[in-house]
Amino acid sequence: MKKNIHVISRIFFLLFYFSCSNLFAYDHQYPESWDELQSNDGWVMIKETDRVKIFSKQLDVSPLPASRAEMISNVKMDRLVDAAWLIEKSMEVFPNAYITNTGIYHQRGDTSYTAYQVIDIPFMAPRLYQFNSIRHGNNIHWVKTDTINASYNPDELLLPPVNFGSWEVVRIENQSKITYRLCTDLGGNVPLWIVNQANQYNLPQLLIDLEAYAQKK
């Protein structure tokens, strides 16, 4: 009898485990345009500073062009990725990104969490970004999630309908190459020229701020 109870309990545990696994797998599904964002084809360089290159590419999923930023750094790869992964400290890591609130809803081990950020850009209504993040070695992927309860948004902030992107850090000889990719639709009525101007300033600063934080840690 005890043996039967043990077997039944184990079956229920396995069913529960696989149900949760399928739920999380579904929650972390990548959008159809993910591969296109990650591809190096089709990008047009729109700005180059002394350290950062900014590229643009139109994807069907958003009226706004996707962005890619690249920079070479002397900081070690693991420090850069660790800094980008610290979502709860993103206001310190990215002090010029207009982040006013941030945190983690659900932590799943060391390589996955569901998190949020409130971004309040001047002359625009604040936006609440809710997303799943996964870390694969020196790569971080995030994808907008629709599974968050409305109670997490008591101020009824705008929720961008599209938001996914990645951080990637690779070794180039004795240096690190940082690549940041983003596809988003801010929602609301935002003129394209404002978005383009913001990206051309904010994206280079984003990478420089990441490097500065990682360097001092």
Residues 14-31, mean pLDDT to the nearest whole number: 46
**Tokens matching residue 42:** 């089709």
Residues 198-203, mean pLDDT to the nearest whole number: 83
Mean pLDDT lowest among 52-61, 72-81, 131-140, 181-190: 181-190
Q: Rounded to the nearest 5°, which phi and psi values hold at 139?
A: -125, 140
Domain ranges of the chain: 1-30, 34-216
Q: What is the DSSP letter of 43?
A: -
pLDDT at residue 39, as a whole number: 97
Indicate whether 26 pLDDT > 50: no
pLDDT per residue over 9-20, tens digit each?
343 333 333 333
**What gap in Å lies between CA 154 and CA 195, rounded to an integer?**
27
Other C-beta atoms closer than 10 Å to the C-beta of 148 total: 17
pLDDT per residue over 175-186, tens digit each?
999 999 999 999
- DSSP bridge pairs for 139: 136, 168
Indicate whether 64 pLDDT > 70: yes
**Tokens matching residue 1:** 């009898």
pLDDT at residue 10, as a whole number: 44
Indicate whether 27 pLDDT > 70: no
CATH architecture, range 34-216: 2-Layer Sandwich (3.30)
Residues 15-43, mean pLDDT to the nearest whole number: 67
pLDDT at residue 14, as a whole number: 33
Look over the chain and give the mean of its residue pLDDT values, rounded to a whole number. Answer: 86
Higher pLDDT, 26 or 56: 56
pLDDT band at 195 (very low <50, low <70, confident <90, very high): confident
The edge-to-edge listing of strands for the beta sheet with 112-119 is 44-48, 52-57, 66-73, 175-185, 162-172, 139-144, 127-136, 112-119, 99-107
pLDDT band at 110 (very low <50, low <70, confident <90, very high): very high
pLDDT band at 28 (very low <50, low <70, confident <90, very high): low
**What gap in Å lies between CA 209 and CA 199, rounded to an integer?**
15
**Tokens matching residue 88:** 């709860």
Integer angstrom CA distances of residue 14 from 9, 90, 108, 150: 9, 37, 18, 31
pLDDT band at 25 (very low <50, low <70, confident <90, very high): very low
Q: What is the DSSP letter of 155?
A: T
pLDDT at residue 140, as a whole number: 98
pLDDT band at 154 (very low <50, low <70, confident <90, very high): confident
The pTM of this model reads 0.84
